[in-house]
Amino acid sequence: MSSKITSTDEIAELLVYLGRAARGVDTGSNLTSAQWTALRFFARANGISRTPSAFASFHATTRGTASQTIKSLLAKGYLARCDAADDKRSVRYDLTDAGTQVMCGDPLRELSDAIHRLDAGLKSALRLALPALVGQLADIRNTVAFGTCGDCRHFSGGGATGYCACVAAELAPADLGRLCISFAAIQDRTLVLGGADKRKTT
Partner DNA sequence: ACATGTAGTTTCGTTTCGATACTATTCGTA
Partner DNA sequence: TACGAATAGTATCGAAACGAAACTACATGT
Footprint of DNA on 72-91 (CB under 7 A): 72, 81, 86-91
Binding partner at 173 among DNA, its own copies, none, C-beta below 5 to 8 Å by kind = none
Size of the site for its own copies (CB under 8 A): 78
Residue from 75, 87, 141, 160 touching its own copies (CB under 8 A): that is 141
- In the bound state with DNA, the residue whose beta carbon lies nearer, of 78 and 132, is 78
Rule CB under 8 A: say whether 160 interacts with its own copies.
no
Q: Is 61 a residue that touches DNA (CB under 7 A)? A: yes
Q: Which does 8 bind (CB under 5 to 8 A by kind): DNA, its own copies, none?
A: its own copies
Nearer to its own copies, 100 or 156 (CB): 100
Cα gap 11→145, rounded to integer Å: 20
How far are the Cα atoms of 105, 145, 179 from residue 152, in angstroms, in the given order?
29, 10, 10
Nearer CB in complex with its own copies: 23/154: 23
Pick one of 41, 46, 52, 103: the residue that binds DNA (CB under 7 A). Answer: 52
For the chain, give percent helix, strand, coil, nearest 5: 50, 10, 40
- 168 near its own copies (CB under 8 A): no
**Helix residue ranges, H only, the chain:** 7-21, 33-44, 52-58, 63-75, 97-102, 109-116, 120-141
According to DSSP, residue 124 is labeled H
| Closest CB 54 distance from its own copies, rounded Å | 13
| Distance from C-alpha of 73 to C-alpha of 19, rounded to nearest angstrom | 22
Helix axes 109-116, 120-141, angle to 10 degrees: 130
Q: Interface residues for its own copies in 88-127 (CB under 8 A)?
A: 100-101, 103-104, 108, 110-123, 125-127
Handedness of CA 43, 48, 51, 54 (dihedral sign): negative
| Largest Cα–Cα separation, the chain | 56
Is the CB of 44 or the CB of 154 nearer to its own copies?
A: 44
Tell me which residues in 23-62 interact with its own copies (CB under 8 A): 23, 37, 40, 43-44, 58-60
Cβ-based neighbours of 169, under 8 Å, separated by 6 or more: 163
* Contacts to DNA by CB under 7 A: 32-35, 51-54, 60-72, 81, 86-92
